[in-house]
Structure 1
Amino acid sequence: MITLVALDIAGTTVDDGGIVYEALRGSVEEAGAPVAPADLQTWMGADKVEAITHLLRLGGVEPTGELVATSFGRFREILAERYAAEPPVPVGGAVEAIAELRRRGVKVALTTGFTADVAVPLLGALGWTVGSSADDTVDALITTSDVAAGRPAPYMIFRAMEATGTRDVREVIAAGDTAVDVRAARAAGATAIGVLTGKADRATLEAEDHDYVVDAVAAIPALVVEFGAGE
């Protein structure tokens, strides 16, 4: 039986047109480090400070503390500028899927490689709320501000369990559109689902140790029913 579904934000439940990818790449390339598409794909979904650190090093630039902080600042600036010009929207069917899960008594948490000061305004712009009321969109929001390390570490999933009172990881589905989303789910011991609404293709996600790869979050309520969630 599934009692908690933990979902990534950008690319999984929220369609931002790939702006996160562009902001991450731009912030690193402005620091003088070329970003290979495969490296960008590898580090998408991770904590953005950690991603910037690794991408700088992969691009041949020493990731000093000052440079990483400056690049992260630029990432946030680029993201804010692009989001203001092209506001993100929910992925098709995501709002309905989340509502259906909660209607069945399944808790829903959002997890993200963003820090809280990026994630909270993003959800606010969508009109999404966090809380236990039936009127709220999701039950919990877990960001990299809440944990010691972001994906592929499993800590955000564990924190989502703590926030929702979920005690058994076997009752958890964790889903996202990047390789590190799937790795974090597997590291936590949750059911690991790759979602094809982001930039990663099926081959990329299926190459990870996964349980399912689905076209979109809209497919998850049916999987939960198979696991025996209540009506």
Structure 2
Amino acid sequence: MDRHPTIDLVVFDMAGTTVNENNVVYKSLQQAINKLGHRYSLEQVLLHGGGKEKLQAVRDIMKDAYPTAADLEANARIAFADFLQLLKEAYAVLEVSTYPGTEELFAFLRANGVKVALNTGYNEQTARSLLEKLHWQEGETFDVLVTADDVENSRPAPDMILVAMERCGISEASKVAKVGDSMVDIAEGKAAGCGLRLGVTTGAQTAAQLRRGLTGCCDRLIT
């Protein structure tokens, strides 16, 4: 494999990678789950839920806490509904920012003919509320947004990257780079066949955790 592939599209994760929202989503997720009587730490929530569609994240975090799949599903849906309400309340007063250099990087890539896509395990409403707070405009700051609402299978399935490729007119996955702050981001990039996968340590998971997924010649860790 070419160790330095030509890249025509970069797919960036949002929270923890390009958007700094102080982990409010995962803190809200932790609070909703623990209201059921659990005592999960934020570290556990980030490890098992980072980057995933949020109902699936709840399932994966609590998967060993219930005796049957039916019990798990019923409690996961209770926690997920509570999470959505907690997040709505948090977002009403939330201040978000981007990481230094992010907007400059987007502008540089787009000025040099490289498409910029954002993808996220959030639903579209949550994602767009973050973008509004940053004053980021689709078609101006970045090219396309793909959320968990746009696909049947969220991360680590490649579906969101494939949708981004289709919307940007990119047919070869080897010319796509995926950037994210969680192991599931890296797994998503591998599943899609991306020519470059980049892990960043600004968000959900640590360098040690990310290195578990960064095993290929086209994988890089940015600290």
Pairing partner for 2:187 from 169, 183, 190: 183
Which residue is 2:3 aligned to? Answer: none
Pairing partner for 2:97 from 80, 89, 100: 89
Which residue is 1:46 aligned to? Answer: 52
Q: Deviations over 1:47-105 (max 9, x none)?
A: 1011112223233372234x433322222222232233331111111111111111111
**Is the CA contact (8 Å cut-off) linking 2:46 and 2:205 kept in structure 1?**
no
Which residue is 2:38 aligned to? Answer: 33
Which residue is 2:22 aligned to? Answer: 17
**Is the CA contact (8 Å cut-off) linking 2:66 and 2:72 kept in structure 1?**
no
Which residue is 1:71 aligned to? Answer: 79
Query: TM-score, normalised to structure 2's length?
Result: 0.88
- Does residue 218 of structure 2 align to residue 213 of structure 1? no
Letter in 1 for 2:106: I
Pairing partner for 1:201 from 183, 197, 206: 206
Q: Which runs of 4+ in 1 moved over 6 A?
A: none
CA–CA distance in structure 2, aligned partners of residues 214 and 181 of structure 1? 14
Cα RMSD after superposing both structures: 1.7
- Does residue 68 of structure 2 align to residue 59 of structure 1? no
Distance change in 2, residues 1:120/1:175 (3 Å): same
Which residue is 1:224 aligned to? Answer: none
Segment drifting more, 19-28 vs 144-153: 19-28
Query: TM-score, normalised to structure 1's length?
Result: 0.85
Matched pairs, number = 210
Give percent identity, aligned residues only: 35
